[in-house]
Amino acid sequence: MSHSLRVLGVDPGLTRCGIGVVDVSPDRTASLVHVGVVRSAVTDPIEKRLATIAAGIRSVLAAHDPHVVAVERVFAQNNRHSVMGTAQASGIALLLAAEHGIPAATHTPSEVKAAITGYGSADKLQVQTMVARVLRLDALPQPADAADALALALCHAWRGGAATAPTGGALTPAQKAWRDAEKRQTSAGMRVDRTKVRTGA
Protein backbone atom coordinates (compact mmCIF):
# COMPACT_ATOMS: atom_id res chain seq x y z
CA MET A 1 0.00 0.00 0.00
CA SER A 2 1.40 3.39 -1.02
CA HIS A 3 1.48 6.26 1.45
CA SER A 4 1.67 9.84 0.23
CA LEU A 5 3.43 12.68 1.99
CA ARG A 6 1.35 15.86 2.08
CA VAL A 7 3.51 18.98 2.00
CA LEU A 8 2.42 22.58 2.43
CA GLY A 9 4.76 24.92 0.58
CA VAL A 10 4.85 28.60 1.54
CA ASP A 11 6.46 31.28 -0.62
CA PRO A 12 6.51 34.06 2.00
CA GLY A 13 5.62 37.63 1.22
CA LEU A 14 3.53 40.40 2.73
CA THR A 15 1.71 41.56 -0.39
CA ARG A 16 1.41 38.07 -1.91
CA CYS A 17 2.13 34.91 0.05
CA GLY A 18 2.08 31.83 -2.18
CA ILE A 19 0.47 28.69 -0.76
CA GLY A 20 0.67 25.23 -2.32
CA VAL A 21 -0.24 21.78 -1.05
CA VAL A 22 0.81 18.60 -2.84
CA ASP A 23 0.65 14.87 -2.18
CA VAL A 24 3.86 13.08 -3.18
CA SER A 25 4.13 9.29 -3.39
CA PRO A 26 7.27 7.26 -2.61
CA ASP A 27 7.83 6.87 -6.37
CA ARG A 28 8.06 10.71 -6.57
CA THR A 29 4.81 11.15 -8.48
CA ALA A 30 2.82 14.10 -7.20
CA SER A 31 -0.68 15.51 -7.32
CA LEU A 32 -2.11 18.94 -6.62
CA VAL A 33 -4.22 19.35 -3.50
CA HIS A 34 -4.49 23.13 -3.18
CA VAL A 35 -2.89 26.25 -4.58
CA GLY A 36 -3.53 29.91 -3.92
CA VAL A 37 -2.19 33.24 -2.78
CA VAL A 38 -2.87 35.09 0.47
CA ARG A 39 -2.87 38.84 -0.17
CA SER A 40 -2.64 41.78 2.22
CA ALA A 41 -3.22 45.43 1.42
CA VAL A 42 -0.13 47.60 1.29
CA THR A 43 -2.11 50.38 2.95
CA ASP A 44 -2.80 48.30 6.06
CA PRO A 45 -0.57 48.60 9.15
CA ILE A 46 2.05 45.85 9.49
CA GLU A 47 0.27 44.06 12.32
CA LYS A 48 -2.93 43.77 10.28
CA ARG A 49 -1.01 42.55 7.23
CA LEU A 50 0.71 39.83 9.28
CA ALA A 51 -2.65 38.84 10.78
CA THR A 52 -4.07 38.50 7.27
CA ILE A 53 -1.19 36.26 6.19
CA ALA A 54 -1.55 34.19 9.36
CA ALA A 55 -5.28 33.74 8.84
CA GLY A 56 -4.75 32.55 5.27
CA ILE A 57 -2.07 30.01 6.20
CA ARG A 58 -4.07 28.85 9.23
CA SER A 59 -7.13 28.14 7.08
CA VAL A 60 -5.07 26.00 4.68
CA LEU A 61 -3.54 24.07 7.58
CA ALA A 62 -7.01 23.36 8.97
CA ALA A 63 -8.50 22.40 5.61
CA HIS A 64 -5.73 20.16 4.28
CA ASP A 65 -3.84 18.84 7.33
CA PRO A 66 -0.32 18.62 5.83
CA HIS A 67 2.37 16.35 7.30
CA VAL A 68 5.12 18.95 6.91
CA VAL A 69 5.55 22.63 6.02
CA ALA A 70 8.26 23.86 3.63
CA VAL A 71 9.10 27.58 3.60
CA GLU A 72 11.46 29.53 1.39
CA ARG A 73 14.61 30.44 3.29
CA VAL A 74 15.13 34.19 3.46
CA PHE A 75 18.42 35.44 2.07
CA ALA A 76 20.03 38.88 1.84
CA GLN A 77 19.08 41.14 -1.04
CA ASN A 78 19.75 44.75 -1.90
CA ASN A 79 16.14 45.66 -1.14
CA ARG A 80 16.11 45.52 2.67
CA HIS A 81 12.44 46.52 2.86
CA SER A 82 11.45 43.53 0.71
CA VAL A 83 13.64 41.16 2.75
CA MET A 84 12.07 42.36 5.99
CA GLY A 85 8.55 41.65 4.77
CA THR A 86 9.57 38.24 3.47
CA ALA A 87 11.26 37.39 6.77
CA GLN A 88 8.20 38.44 8.75
CA ALA A 89 5.86 36.32 6.62
CA SER A 90 8.31 33.41 6.84
CA GLY A 91 8.29 33.67 10.63
CA ILE A 92 4.49 33.54 10.65
CA ALA A 93 4.50 30.33 8.58
CA LEU A 94 7.09 28.65 10.81
CA LEU A 95 5.27 29.73 13.97
CA LEU A 96 1.97 28.31 12.73
CA ALA A 97 3.64 25.02 11.85
CA ALA A 98 4.97 24.79 15.42
CA GLU A 99 1.59 25.67 16.90
CA HIS A 100 0.00 22.85 14.90
CA GLY A 101 2.73 20.38 15.90
CA ILE A 102 3.88 20.02 12.29
CA PRO A 103 7.59 19.75 11.37
CA ALA A 104 8.90 22.54 9.17
CA ALA A 105 11.92 23.08 6.95
CA THR A 106 13.36 25.89 4.85
CA HIS A 107 14.91 25.73 1.38
CA THR A 108 16.76 28.38 -0.60
CA PRO A 109 15.43 29.47 -4.01
CA SER A 110 18.44 27.87 -5.73
CA GLU A 111 17.78 24.55 -3.97
CA VAL A 112 14.19 24.63 -5.14
CA LYS A 113 15.09 25.54 -8.72
CA ALA A 114 17.72 22.80 -8.89
CA ALA A 115 15.29 20.20 -7.53
CA ILE A 116 12.50 21.15 -9.93
CA THR A 117 14.35 22.03 -13.13
CA GLY A 118 17.85 20.64 -12.59
CA TYR A 119 19.23 24.17 -12.87
CA GLY A 120 19.78 26.37 -9.80
CA SER A 121 19.45 29.61 -11.77
CA ALA A 122 16.26 28.76 -13.65
CA ASP A 123 13.83 31.61 -14.28
CA LYS A 124 10.24 31.76 -13.04
CA LEU A 125 8.76 30.56 -16.33
CA GLN A 126 10.95 27.44 -16.27
CA VAL A 127 9.87 26.70 -12.70
CA GLN A 128 6.19 27.23 -13.57
CA THR A 129 6.50 24.99 -16.62
CA MET A 130 8.12 22.13 -14.70
CA VAL A 131 5.64 22.40 -11.82
CA ALA A 132 2.76 22.19 -14.29
CA ARG A 133 4.37 19.17 -15.96
CA VAL A 134 5.06 17.33 -12.70
CA LEU A 135 1.55 17.94 -11.37
CA ARG A 136 -0.06 17.29 -14.79
CA LEU A 137 -1.80 20.66 -14.85
CA ASP A 138 -3.57 21.98 -17.94
CA ALA A 139 -2.13 25.46 -17.42
CA LEU A 140 0.81 27.10 -15.70
CA PRO A 141 0.06 27.85 -12.04
CA GLN A 142 -0.51 31.58 -11.58
CA PRO A 143 0.74 33.87 -10.21
CA ALA A 144 4.43 33.02 -9.88
CA ASP A 145 4.14 33.09 -6.07
CA ALA A 146 1.71 30.16 -6.23
CA ALA A 147 4.02 28.21 -8.54
CA ASP A 148 6.95 28.88 -6.22
CA ALA A 149 4.96 27.52 -3.26
CA LEU A 150 4.20 24.31 -5.17
CA ALA A 151 7.86 24.05 -6.19
CA LEU A 152 8.90 24.39 -2.54
CA ALA A 153 6.56 21.57 -1.54
CA LEU A 154 7.85 19.29 -4.31
CA CYS A 155 11.46 20.15 -3.52
CA HIS A 156 11.02 19.24 0.13
CA ALA A 157 9.42 15.89 -0.64
CA TRP A 158 12.04 15.00 -3.25
CA ARG A 159 14.94 16.02 -1.02
CA GLY A 160 14.04 13.49 1.65
CA GLY A 161 11.19 15.33 3.30
CA ALA A 162 9.79 12.06 4.65
CA ALA A 163 12.75 11.74 7.00
CA THR A 164 12.16 15.12 8.59
CA ALA A 165 11.30 14.57 12.24
CA PRO A 166 9.17 16.81 14.43
CA THR A 167 10.84 18.89 17.12
CA GLY A 168 10.50 16.06 19.63
CA GLY A 169 12.63 13.79 17.44
CA ALA A 170 9.98 11.14 16.67
CA LEU A 171 8.52 10.51 13.24
CA THR A 172 4.79 10.91 12.73
CA PRO A 173 2.83 7.81 11.59
CA ALA A 174 2.65 9.21 8.05
CA GLN A 175 6.40 9.83 7.98
CA LYS A 176 7.11 6.33 9.29
CA ALA A 177 4.89 4.84 6.59
CA TRP A 178 6.66 6.93 3.92
CA ARG A 179 10.10 5.90 5.23
CA ASP A 180 9.15 2.21 5.24
CA ALA A 181 7.70 2.43 1.74
CA GLU A 182 10.88 4.08 0.46
CA LYS A 183 12.99 1.35 2.05
CA ARG A 184 10.90 -1.35 0.37
CA GLN A 185 11.16 0.43 -2.98
CA THR A 186 14.94 0.82 -2.63
CA SER A 187 15.37 -2.84 -1.68
CA ALA A 188 13.28 -3.94 -4.65
CA GLY A 189 15.37 -1.79 -6.98
CA MET A 190 18.60 -3.24 -5.63
CA ARG A 191 17.30 -6.79 -6.18
CA VAL A 192 16.42 -5.95 -9.79
CA ASP A 193 19.88 -4.43 -10.39
CA ARG A 194 21.63 -7.52 -8.96
CA THR A 195 19.52 -9.76 -11.19
CA LYS A 196 20.53 -7.73 -14.24
CA VAL A 197 24.20 -8.05 -13.32
CA ARG A 198 23.96 -11.84 -12.96
CA THR A 199 22.06 -12.28 -16.21
CA GLY A 200 24.04 -9.68 -18.13
CA ALA A 201 20.85 -7.81 -18.98
**So which residues are the catalytic ones?**
11, 72, 145
User: Across the chain, which distance is largest between two alpha carbons, in Å?
Assistant: 70
Q: What is the DSSP string of 139-183?
A: S--SSHHHHHHHHHHHHHHHTTGGGPPPTTSPPPHHHHHHHHHHH
Q: How far apart are CA 67 and CA 65, in angstroms?
A: 7
Q: How far apart are CA 201 and CA 198, in angstroms?
A: 8
Angle at 134 between CA 161 and CA 188, to 5 degrees: 60
Cross-strand pairs, 35: 20
Give the CA distances from residue 67 to residues 128, 131, 166, 197, in Å, rounded to whole numbers and listed in that order.
Answer: 24, 20, 10, 39
Q: How far apart are CA 11 and CA 152, in angstroms?
A: 8
Q: Helix, strand or coil for residue 24?
A: strand
Phi, psi of 47 (to 5 degrees): -65, -35
